[in-house]
Amino acid sequence: MYQIHFDRPIHVHFIGIGGISMSGLAEILLSEGFTVSGSDSRRSPLTEMLEEKGALIRYGQRRDNITDDIDLAVYTSAIHPDNPEYLAVQEKGLPSLTRAQLLGQMMRQYKTAVAISGTHGKTTTTAMVSDILLQEGADPTLSIGGILKSIGGNYRVGGPDYFVTEACEYTNSFLSFFPKIGIILNIQEDHLDFFKDLADIRNSFHSFAKLLPEDGCLIINGGIDAYQELTEGISCPVITFGMRDGYDYYPSDISYDTMGKPSFICHGPDGFTLPVTLGMPGTHNIANALPAIALSHRLGIEDSSIQQALCHFEGTDRRFDYKGEIGGVTVIDDYAHHPAEIEATLSAAAHYPHKRLWCVFQPHTYSRTKSFLTDFAKVLSTAEHVVLADIYAARETDTLGISSRDLQDRINALGGDCHYFPSFDEIENFLLENCTAGDLLITMGAGDVHKIGENLLGI
């Protein structure tokens, strides 16, 4: 595999440079003195930012964009084999890397690379770690799967000491990484359009854990079933965390303020204790904070930096994200699109002030909806009122014979109050007619359901 080196900058061409992840990688290479070119279908704020920093970007993907001075091409999984630039790269025999492979190569250029994995909570925990390092003044380089409010973006170019990134298991992309410290938050069934079953997913996380070097560290949720199977054969130290006594890091004395924000005492090895108040609501955010604290403690971060960062933590876009208020109705947006994530978000909402809860859910992909239809219905039936949008197809074209009406029928059969409308306009009109002052409205899903709340608010 081609290996990049920050001390030997070359010309890298990005096929599809305008994506939020690809543009961040391009920005890091530009800061390290690399020549960067790329192509995308249209101009955007991200491509304009890169052009201002010195990248040469062409709009429209054509064979002649692959010039003879290019040393390396980078592409994403969205690029098909018949893409004209991809074909030109193959015909010229140019070295090429996937986005994940490039990210893995870049991790090798930093003293301490941290990769945060898990079925749920990756973005929030990565953001917490990022804010703690920023509070400490550690000047980290960051790659986050959402917009971190404290930096106004999902990437930050920092110094050579720390690189912090999410590590996604989908298509086994995290197996291209080279972390020194790894975090495994949880493991559940998901992405069953790629993985065969839970055992297949666990095998991938075991392979991820085995990437860690002897002088590194694995921080893992001790509540994962038979977590020892995932640590078998790895040479680095293992640190556990969990929501009860018995793990290396655990909370006690949990309480909530009037806005649902938790406070607790974190306990760790050798008598370590740290009072913590989180700036975000939800018990699940305690579980997200524990590995961030464990990592920070291992890195020698000051206790005060941990406390200050977590207390002022505002989260990332689309994670229990306060959007505004209309007619006394509070509008929140959340990325939850898996039954476990929905359960965590609804649990957080229970501690948030409201009269009635309205959950507007947009299922994400036909395969996920079909696989978890019963689980979706069970968890959504606990909300007072549910409104369903059509399934967001994303990358899929086969409906698998499933629809939001099937989910509506399941929810109502369990005693829930569920409504379905095929258009956002109909949903918005229904909400305007039925929501009253004091209600809490949560738009939920990984697609474009956030537009419903934004349209209601006029933003």
Q: Which of 85, 112, 122, 316 is catalytic?
A: 122
Q: Report how far residue 409's alpha carbon sits from residue 419's, in angstroms, rounded to the nearest whole number.
A: 9
Q: What are phi and psi of 366, to 5 degrees?
A: -65, -40
Q: Treating both helix axes as pointing N-terminal to C-terminal, what angle do 122-136 and 303-311 enclose, rounded to 10 degrees?
A: 130
Q: Report how far residue 440's alpha carbon sits from residue 348's, in angstroms, rounded to the nearest whole number.
A: 12
Q: Report how far residue 134's alpha carbon sits from residue 112's, in angstroms, rounded to the nearest whole number.
A: 15
Residue 123 catalytic?
A: yes
- What's the token pair of residue 40? 């995308």
Q: Which of 85, 136, 166, 189 is catalytic?
A: 166
**Is the sign of the CA dihedral 307, 311, 312, 316 positive or negative?**
positive
**Is the sign of the CA dihedral 241, 181, 164, 167 positive or negative?**
negative
Q: Which of 47, 119, 123, 382 is catalytic?
A: 123
Residue recorded with tokens 């069953």: 192
Q: Treating both helix axes as pointing N-terminal to C-terminal, what angle do 284-299 and 122-136 enclose, rounded to 10 degrees?
A: 40
Q: Report how far residue 445's alpha carbon sits from residue 424's, in angstroms, rounded to the nearest whole number.
A: 14
Q: Report how far residue 123's alpha carbon sits from residue 126's, in angstroms, rounded to the nearest whole number.
A: 5
Q: Treating both helix axes as pointing N-terminal to C-terminal, what angle do 424-434 and 450-457 enclose, rounded to 10 degrees?
A: 60
DSSP, res 83 = -
Closest Cα partner for 34 from 13, 57, 18? 13
- What's the token pair of residue 232? 């078998």
Instruction: For residue 422, give the amino acid letter.
Output: P
Q: What are phi and psi of 317, to 5 degrees?
A: -55, 140
Q: Report how far residue 456's alpha carbon sits from residue 121's, in angstroms, rounded to the nearest whole number.
A: 28
Which residues pair with residue 155 across a beta bridge?
A: 143
Q: Report how far residue 268's alpha carbon sits from residue 250's, in angstroms, rounded to the nearest whole number.
A: 7
Which residues pair with residue 183 across a beta bridge?
A: 116, 219
Q: Report how far residue 133's alpha carbon sits from residue 295's, in angstroms, rounded to the nearest whole number.
A: 10
Residue recorded with tokens 């409010």: 149
Catalytic sites, residue numbers: 122-123, 166
